[in-house]
Amino acid sequence: MGAMSEAATSTGAGELAAVILTGGTSSRMGGADKSALAYAGRSLLERALAAVADAGETVVVGPAQETTRPVTFVREDPPLGGPAAGLLAGVDALSGAATLVVVLAVDMPLVGPETVRRLAAAAAGRDGAFLAGPGGRRQLAGVVSRAALDRARPPRGTEAGLPVHRLLAGLDLADVASDGAEARDVDTWADYDGLPDPG
């Protein structure tokens, strides 16, 4: 096993888990499987897994597929219940006692391990921290306290269709300004085609 990063050491590998959301409808891309799209030689799912490399455990919410790292695949019930339902289903599937959860949408290929470390640092002493784009809009890339999520969750069975912003509305969250284009997501084929040349 490779050496643990400084950030993972300072946070504590057992304190950080990750939930990657891949199971959306992708309606503006004709239902394409975003997780399988390639960017810079890797699928968007593999890029997301690399971004959460400091996590001691990773759950992927969406259809199961081959990955280069061990992960647990789950689906929200009912499927396609939206990202808030997916996040809560992913947290429920965690087997460890992690106190912080990285949540990352698979369609944010410019988020990397350093992004996650900045978010984890900003979350210290608060309920969490989320990446904000140039216009201040929060993106689905953040680190949030597991205990805070437990407090915020609605009654079980009512998660489907709940907007993420409503789930998190009562939490004390820090906004972390994006570094360059890292807050870009892929909602359309134009977004995908417009991703920066990785060089």
Q: What is the pLDDT of residue 80?
A: 87
Residue 42 lies in a domain: yes
Please report whether residue 144 resides in a domain: yes
Asked whether residue 186 is domain-assigned, the answer is: yes
Number of domains, the chain: 1
- Look at the block and give the residue holding tokens 């959301």: 21
Radius of gyration of the chain (CA): 16
Question: In angstroms, rounded to a whole number, what is the distance separating the alpha carbons of residues 97 and 146?
Answer: 9
51 in any annotated domain: yes
* Domain membership flag for residue 166: yes
Q: pTM (2 decimals)? A: 0.90
- With CA atoms as reference, report the closest residue to 108 among 196, 44, 30: 44
Residues of the domain holding 143: 11-190
Are 139 and 164 contacting, i.e. CB atoms less than 8 angstroms apart? no
Q: Is residue 134 in some structural domain?
A: yes
Question: What confidence score (pLDDT) does residue 2 get?
Answer: 31
Residue 152 lies in a domain: yes
Residue 199 within any structural domain of the chain: no
Per-residue confidence in pLDDT tens, the chain, 199 aa: 232 233 333 444 458 999 999 977 788 898 889 999 999 999 999 999 999 999 999 999 999 999 999 999 999 988 889 999 999 999 999 998 999 999 999 999 999 999 999 999 999 999 999 999 988 999 999 999 999 999 999 998 899 999 999 999 999 999 999 999 999 999 999 999 999 987 6
For 36-74, write each residue's pLDDT tens digit. Answer: 999 999 999 999 999 999 999 999 999 999 999 999 999
User: Which CATH number is 91's domain given?
Assistant: 3.90.550.10
Among candidate residues 67, 68, 77, the one with its CA nearest the CA of residue 23: 77
Instruction: Report the pLDDT value the prediction gives residue 4, as an integer from 0 to 100.
Output: 28
Please give the pLDDT value at position 31: 84
